[in-house]
Amino acid sequence: MPSALALAATAIAVIYSFLRALVYLRHDSREPKPIFGAIPYLSPLFSMLIEQDKFYKRIRDKTRLPIYTLNIPGVPVYIANSLEVLQRVDRHIDTLPLAPMKAQTCKKVCSVSQAGLGKIYGNNLLAQDGYLYSHQRASAQAGAPGASLNALSRSASKVFAAAFDRVEARGRTAVDLYEFVHDAIFNGTTDAMYGPHNPFRTEKNLNHWAIFEAGLPMLFLGFLPNILARRAYKARERLVAAFIDYFGNDKHLDGGSLFVQLTNQVNDSTGLSLVDKARIEVGQVAAATFNTAPGAKEVMRLVDEVNGTHTIDLARVRTECPLLVSTLQEVMRFYGTATSLRLIYEDTMLDGEYLLKKGGAVLMPNSMFHTDETLWGPSVGEFDHTRFLKAGRRKSSTKHPAAAFRGFGGGHVLCPGRHLASTEMLALMALILVRVDVVPPGGEWPAAPIGLSAGRALPVPSKRVLVDFIPRAADKWRVIFTDKDNSGVNLVAEDMHGTNS
């Protein structure tokens, strides 16, 4: 009688050969080259979940392929390595749209009703007459440079300034740097969006949010969410209730931003129910705050002192502090972990060269393009805060194509919140620079504790960074954001060519 061990070994060998054969059989020769890993289906899945960008970089450096196929259980996933392939994917708006991903998010993360899902798609995804497309147009309009962007930034700046007033009142204060930045950005962004009736002005809803956010990946995975992500599920329902109150009682009409006004009108015209509207809004808060929280002399020049009152107009940071802007952009290039994901809506031939099969997914990790030496030159591996300055002011002579920076997406999927997010990050950095001295423990800065990105555009710290804030001037501060300057923060190629979409 064969031993149990031998039986098990045979069974594993049979299953293994079966899986390998399956990968071959299911692979069409026109698809990008398949990469297997030690165990078909399972190895790539584990590497994708655990190693993420490190795994993709390893394969890129080993194979030098512009695009390849990873077979994981259920779907082929195509990973794009080259900017050229990425740009081709961007051009197939009809068969590789973002909408199916967004619809999945509405369904799994926000639990939008079946009737609601029909409306957000519209009659036909490609007709672009559904809620999702109208929402996209409305957000692009509300987030574009001009009075609307300035109004949003002004509200956020008020929240930032108040946080520093509190620090000054306390004197030297120990703060968790990430927590401070996160809370300031979260309060600032939601106040800017929702106005005086911002549902996140209560500790209770802020707590619900923290629980919901922690459970987001689990909800998205969608496997038994009301058991495995029970707390997140419940917290979300509380937030949905808060937004039903907000929109149901027309609180957005009393001081809510143009952003909320416009996107809410869209809801009305597509006949979406109040409950579904509230559900989608919870998703919108995630889009607006998930990525922004994680980056001085030229700022000092902006401070005017009159009679012991220091005034700073944060609107000027965008155009008068190019080194600060370049630093922000280099942080997004160097540390950025955003990944564009498209579900394949129809079989697609990329310029007659690669077949992408319907039902599969294309994954485009920004770090592939941001670490490509052919785009950024030999200094690609260095953090160079002058990299994005005009020629002559840069440290090295390195040049790069503007489209190689993908921090806010590109092509037909461009972040509508990019000007607001950049303005907020610059404003907060400027205030930290002028209003406090930041002293790390023992006087020395620890190496940046880079943690997991978990689907964010930037990683969060792996451990707390405690610092002391020491208020600088004991005098009064006046933090303003004027309308004299209608600039955006133009980091992506699309904005540099003057097409602010």
Question: Counting contacts by CB under 6 A, is residue 426 touching ligand HEM?
Answer: no
Which of the listed partners (ligand HEM, ligand NAG, none) does 163 bind, with a CB threshold of 5 to 8 Å by partner kind? ligand NAG
Residues 273 and 265: their CA atoms lie apart, in Å, by: 12
Q: Considering beta carbons, is residue 168 or 426 the nearer one to ligand HEM?
A: 426
User: Which of 184, 187, 154 is CA-nearest to residue 428?
Assistant: 184
Q: Which of 69, 71, 139, 155 binds ligand HEM (CB under 6 A)?
A: 139
- Tell me which residue has its CB nearest to ligand HEM: 417
Which of the listed partners (ligand NAG, ligand HEM, none) does 139 bind, with a CB threshold of 5 to 8 Å by partner kind? ligand HEM
Angle at 184 between CA 285 and CA 281, to 5 degrees: 10
Give yes or no for a contact between 198 and 255, defined as CB atoms under 8 angstroms apart.
no
Q: What are phi and psi of 76, to 5 degrees?
A: -80, 135
Integer Rg of the chain from CA: 24
Question: Counting contacts by CB under 6 A, is residue 256 touching ligand HEM?
Answer: no
Q: Considering beta carbons, is residue 168 or 293 the nearer one to ligand HEM?
A: 293
Give yes or no for a contact between 419 and 148, defined as CB atoms under 8 angstroms apart.
no
- From the CB of residue 457, how many other CB atoms can be counted at a distance below 10 Å? 22
- From the CB of residue 159, how many other CB atoms can be counted at a distance below 10 Å? 21
- What is the distance, to the nearest Å, from the Cα of residue 247 to the centroid of all Cα atoms in its chain? 26
Question: Counting contacts by CB under 6 A, is residue 404 touching ligand HEM?
Answer: no
Residues 233 and 214: their CA atoms lie apart, in Å, by: 11
**Tell me, what DSSP letter sits at residue 265?**
H
Angle at 109 between CA 107 and CA 115, to 5 degrees: 25
Q: Considering beta carbons, is residue 54 or 478 the nearer one to ligand NAG?
A: 478
Q: For tokens 């006046």, what's the residue?
A: 478
Applying CB under 6 A, the span of 32-40, 266-274, 381-389, 413-421 interacting with ligand HEM comes to 413-421
Residues whose CB is less than 8 angstroms from the CB of residue 360 and which lie 6 or more positions away in sequence, other chains included = 75, 76, 77, 78, 343, 344
Q: Which of 105, 136, 267, 371 binds ligand HEM (CB under 6 A)?
A: 136
- Half-sphere exposure of residue 289, counting CA atoms within 13 Å on the CB side? 25
Residues whose CB is less than 8 angstroms from the CB of residue 172 and which lie 6 or more positions away in sequence, other chains included = 468, 469, 470, 471
CB of 306 to ligand NAG, least distance (A): 5
Question: Counting contacts by CB under 6 A, is residue 288 touching ligand HEM?
Answer: yes
Question: Counting contacts by CB under 6 A, is residue 407 touching ligand HEM?
Answer: yes
CB of 224 to ligand NAG, least distance (A): 33
Which residues contact ligand NAG (rule: CB under 6 A)?
Answer: 159, 163, 183-184, 187, 201, 203, 206, 265, 268-269, 306-307
Applying CB under 6 A, the span of 248-256, 284-292, 302-310, 474-482 interacting with ligand HEM comes to 284-292
Q: Considering beta carbons, is residue 114 or 269 the nearer one to ligand NAG?
A: 269
Which of the listed partners (ligand NAG, ligand HEM, none) does 326 bind, with a CB threshold of 5 to 8 Å by partner kind? none
CB of 188 to ligand NAG, least distance (A): 7
CB of 108 to ligand NAG, least distance (A): 27
Which of the listed partners (ligand HEM, ligand NAG, none) does 439 bind, with a CB threshold of 5 to 8 Å by partner kind? none
Interacting residues with ligand HEM (CB under 6 A): 98, 136, 139, 287-288, 291-292, 338, 340, 407-409, 413, 415-417, 420-421, 457
